[in-house]
């Protein structure tokens, strides 16, 4: 694992300002180090001032030296239970590798298209994307969320102590996380235009999707890729199983690079 110095870009923050972290996770073989490297480059282009990008990972090989790599904290699940579906809850450790400050979590497969500064200043204790598909529910999409490191240890502590009950009542970590923070009166959502879904908001409706390419919606800052399409697929115009026809989203190449 590599643990390196923060970004060398000139500081625009007061000496006593709270440290800003961008946190991502990479485990297994689904995403290579290029996803983390491109994420760092996109953040650097769109976030003014100092920040530290931290990758919680089981393999730091190939990740650029500006990124600080640390092991993913154990969820302490019963033997034989895979942790991968719940791993993001590890960011709520009471002490996450000694890091202190404001953290913006980003999935490694997002494409950043606009300024990120407001993600650190938007009022609220915990902010997350409101679920796209069922907006009448409180559930958030955890591709992008912000919190103070160490401020919500009960999220992970309760999960560790009540896993079997939680697994029966919640479909995934973002449902559990949203419900926990909602019950505490701390759940808030990003402005709707900031984090559009590629699948739901960028692809023209049928039949125009056959002659119009995917687009970046007005006001978008971070485009979310979830389900069956990731940035390379979108760029190539590839059709995946159950995923409707798309033309190449050439704008992905303008943003998703080192």
Distance set, CA 241 to CA 227, 233, 244 (Å) = 10, 12, 8
Instruction: With a cut of 60, say whether residue 93 has pLDDT above it.
Output: yes
Q: Are strands 187-189 and 126-130 parallel, antiparallel or unpaired?
A: parallel
Residue-wise pLDDT for 208-217, tens only, equals 999 999 999 9
Give me the numbers of helices (H) and strands (E) for the chain, helices first please: 7, 9
pTM value is 0.91
Instruction: With a cut of 90, say whether residue 242 has pLDDT above it.
Output: no
Instruction: With a cut of 60, say whether residue 66 has pLDDT above it.
Output: yes
The region that residue 242 occupies, defined by phi over 0 for left and psi between -120 and 50 for alpha, beta otherwise, is left
Decide: 58 and 25 in contact? Cβ < 8 Å.
Answer: no
Domains of the chain (ranges plus CATH)?
Answer: 20-189 (3.90.550.10), 198-255 (no CATH)
Phi, psi of 69, deg, nearest 5 = -105, 130
Residue 30: which residues within 8 A CB-CB, separation 6 or more?
none
The residue ranking higher by pLDDT, 113 or 12, is 113
pLDDT at 7: 35
Instruction: With a cut of 50, say whether residue 13 has pLDDT above it.
Output: no
Nearest to 156 by CA among 83, 94, 105, 79: 94
Residue-wise pLDDT for 180-220, tens only, equals 999 999 999 999 999 999 999 999 998 999 999 999 999 99
Instruction: With a cut of 70, say whether residue 1 has pLDDT above it.
Output: no
Report the distance separating Cα 239 and Cα 228, nearest Å.
9
Report the distance separating Cα 44 and Cα 258, nearest Å.
10
> Cα 255–13–44 angle (5° rounding)?
15
Distance set, CA 101 to CA 23, 69, 126, 128, 196 (Å) = 12, 17, 13, 18, 27
Four-residue CA torsion sign, 82, 87, 89, 93: positive
Decide: 113 and 216 in contact? Cβ < 8 Å.
Answer: yes
Would you place residue 243 in the very low, low, confident or very high pLDDT band (cuts 50, 70, 90)? Answer: low
Strands (E), the chain: 20-26, 52-57, 68-70, 102-106, 111-112, 126-130, 140-148, 187-189, 222-223
């Amino acid at each position: 694992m590599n643990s390196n110095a923060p970004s060398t870009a000139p500081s625009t923050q007061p000496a006593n300002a709270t440290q800003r972290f961008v946190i991502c996770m990479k485990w297994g073989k689904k995403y290579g180090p290029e996803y983390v490297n491109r994420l760092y480059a996109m953040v650097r282009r769109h976030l003014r001032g100092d920040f530290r990008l931290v990758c919680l990972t089981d393999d730091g090989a190939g990740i650029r030296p500006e990124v600080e790599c640390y092991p993913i904290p154990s969820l302490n699940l019963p033997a034989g239970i895979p942790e991968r579906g719940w791993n993001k809850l590890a960011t709520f450790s009471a002490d996450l590798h000694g890091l202190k400050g404001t953290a913006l979590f980003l999935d490694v497969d997002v494409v950043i298209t606009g300024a990120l500064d407001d993600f650190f200043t938007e009022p609220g204790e915990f902010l997350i994307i409101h679920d796209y598909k069922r907006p009448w529910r409180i559930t958030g999409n955890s591709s992008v969320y912000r919190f103070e490191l160490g401020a919500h240890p009960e999220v992970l502590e309760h999960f560790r102590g009540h896993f079997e009950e939680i697994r029966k009542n919640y479909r995934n970590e973002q449902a559990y996380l949203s419900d926990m923070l909602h019950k505490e009166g701390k759940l808030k959502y990003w402005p709707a235009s900031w984090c559009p879904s590629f699948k739901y908001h960028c692809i023209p409706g049928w039949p125009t999707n056959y002659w119009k390419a995917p687009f970046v919606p007005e006001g978008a800052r971070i485009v979310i890729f979830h389900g069956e399409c990731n940035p390379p697929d979108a760029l190539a115009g590839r059709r995946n199983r159950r995923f409707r026809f798309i033309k190449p989203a050439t704008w992905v190449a303008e943003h998703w690079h080192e």
